[in-house]
Amino acid sequence: TNSAKRALLERRITGRTPIHLGGVWCEKSSHPTNRCTALISLPPLSAPLYIMAKILLVEDNEMNRDMLSRRLVKRGFEVTMAVDGLVGLSEAQSGKYDLVLMDMSLPGLSGWEATQKLREDPAMAKLPVIALTAHAMESDRQQALAAGCDEYETKPVDLARLLEKMNRLLGVTDSSA
């Protein structure tokens, strides 16, 4: 999947160019002083390509949304948020994202329904979707996988475990870990 990674990298580079400063990669800021907006402490650009992956976070709970998005941004992901299933579905269908984190319990259209509808489009068949639920029961996991989710995580999120799943689905092997 080297070509896939390369395509991902090139796509990211055209969007936001990371610059190398004093041994760290950082995102170029539009600020006139050209200060970094975020420092990324992983040195080789070839390994952690996931630092520029675009994530769609669909989550109706404001506290969960803020906390998880902040932690992911700190890790270098670009995070867009949607607060309900309908908006989440239409955002996911836009094709702008590399991976979706989908809360299952959402107002209006649930995460299960949104994922099912997303998978009806063949172009969206391979977009990685990780289900997030507050329930740790096997039936919930089965229901999420049956709806078309690739993975399943319970809340509160164990970030290390979530990152491992995200990286695997993004096709990244993190040699710096």
Q: Which residues bind Mn ion (CB under 5 A)?
A: 60, 103, 105
> Among all residues, whose Cβ is closest to Mn ion?
105
- Surface-to-core class of residue 31, CB atoms within 10 Å of its CB (0-12 exposed, 13-18 middle, 19+ buried): exposed
Please state, in angstroms and rounded to a whole number, the distance separating the CA atoms of residues 164 and 44.
19
Shortest gap between Cβ of 134 and Mn ion (angstroms)?
Answer: 8
Nearer to Mn ion by C-beta: 124 or 131? 131
Nearer to Mn ion by C-beta: 135 or 168? 135
Shortest gap between Cβ of 41 and Mn ion (angstroms)?
Answer: 32
SS3 21: strand
CA angle, residues 133, 113, 103, in degrees to nearest 5: 25
Question: What H or E segment, with its residue span, contains residue 77?
Answer: none
Nearer to Mn ion by C-beta: 64 or 116? 64
Shortest gap between Cβ of 105 and Mn ion (angstroms)?
Answer: 4
Shortest gap between Cβ of 88 and Mn ion (angstroms)?
Answer: 11
Instruction: Catalogue the E-assigned strands of the chain.
Output: 18-21, 24-27, 39-40, 54-58, 78-82, 99-103, 129-133, 151-154
Nearer to Mn ion by C-beta: 105 or 116? 105
Pair of tokens at residue 104: 């299952």
Shortest gap between Cβ of 110 and Mn ion (angstroms)?
Answer: 9
- Asked whether the beta carbons of 102 and 149 are under 8 A apart, the reply is yes
Nearer to Mn ion by C-beta: 15 or 107? 107
SS3 31: coil
